[in-house]
Amino acid sequence: MAIRRFYIEPEQLEKQAPRITGRQASHIRKVLRLPEGEAIVLVNGRGSVFNARITGFEQGAVRVAVEGQAEDHSESGLDLTVAQGFLKEAKMDDLLRQATELGITRWIPVITERTVARPDAGRLKKRIERWRSIAVEAIKQCGRSTIPEIYSTYDFSEVLDLAETVDLPVFFWENTDSPIPSPSVTRPGSVLLLLGPEGGFTENEARQAEKRGLRFASLGPRILRAETAAVAACSLAQYLFGDLQKSP
Ligand code: SAM
């Protein structure tokens, strides 16, 4: 059986006796019932992976000894940005969790013409903190070594500026029948997926995106809910240009 992976706070790795704490600790003890001496892998959320061993148990914590750095196979070689039109409350949270599991590199909430949910500065700060903790939970759960970068909100025009720095910027638009390009046509190192909010993009936004050279792509003949569309787009990008076809 594959060695189990756990997240450890980077600060713990600087201590003499590092500890895994919180829900993971009780999962190790009560659900997995891993014994002292068990070999495990630790990830620090910043792209480093370590071979380690369980050395003991305490109230609410599992003590570990780090034995050395390991190779990381949990991160996609594709630099994948999701720029998502701001959705209402929990939808953004769920989407970020799923996109993190699908290996995104960066998450950008975008204010578009049809964005209904526009948080003020104080609320936005709290949302960003919450997204960070959701991303940490998601990397723990799926064994990634890196927490995706979480940006503050971008305006639509700022995303178009960013798109110019990316190999393949894709504008998902239900009114096109062009497919996302295949790897036989392009092998991008970086991809940006731009997806609309619940009400979709306006014609004006589509025109601007076209002028700035974004590639228009369809996700098939059905109109998907925004959160379904983003998950489908991430899966396609990782399948075509990233690591979705590799086993753990
Ligand atoms: N404007 C539409 C409406 O309200 O009927 C639908 C918007 S859809 C819920 C939200 C976003 O998901 C769209 O802006 C687009 O980025 C993406 N999307 C949904 N279905 C799609 C499809 N079939 N092809 C490409 N993009 C799609």
Tell me if 225 CB under 6 Å of ligand 1: yes
Confidence of residue 117 (pLDDT cuts 50, 70, 90): confident
Mutate to test the pocket of ligand 1, among 192, 224, 234 (most ligand atoms within 8 A of CB): 224
Instruction: Please identify which residue in the block is written with the tokens 């960013």.
Output: 162
User: Whole-model pTM?
Assistant: 0.91
Locate 165 and state its tokens. Answer: 């720095």
CA distance 228 to 243: 20
Confidence of residue 30 (pLDDT cuts 50, 70, 90): very high
Q: State the alpha helices, DSSP H only, in the chain.
A: 22-26, 89-101, 121-142, 156-163, 203-211, 226-241
Tell me if 196 CB under 6 Å of ligand 1: yes
Tell me if 223 CB under 6 Å of ligand 1: yes
pLDDT at position 89, please?
Answer: 73
User: What average pLDDT does the segment 89-94 reach?
Assistant: 90
Tell me if 170 CB under 6 Å of ligand 1: no
User: What average pLDDT does the segment 195-211 reach?
Assistant: 97
pLDDT at position 123, please?
Answer: 87
Mean per-residue pLDDT over the chain, rounded = 94
Instruction: Please identify which residue in the block is written with the tokens 């059905």.
Output: 222
- Taking 90 as the threshold, does the pLDDT of residue 227 lie above it? yes
Do residues 49 and 42 lie in contact, with contact meaning Cβ atoms separated by under 8 Å?
A: yes
Do residues 155 and 208 lie in contact, with contact meaning Cβ atoms separated by under 8 Å?
A: no
pLDDT at position 141, please?
Answer: 86
- Dihedral sign of CA atoms 238, 241, 247, 248 in order: negative
pLDDT at position 217, please?
Answer: 98
Return the number of other C-beta atoms located less than 10 Å from residue 6's C-beta.
21
Confidence of residue 118 (pLDDT cuts 50, 70, 90): confident
Closest to 85 in 3D by CA, of 176, 241, 191, 194:
194
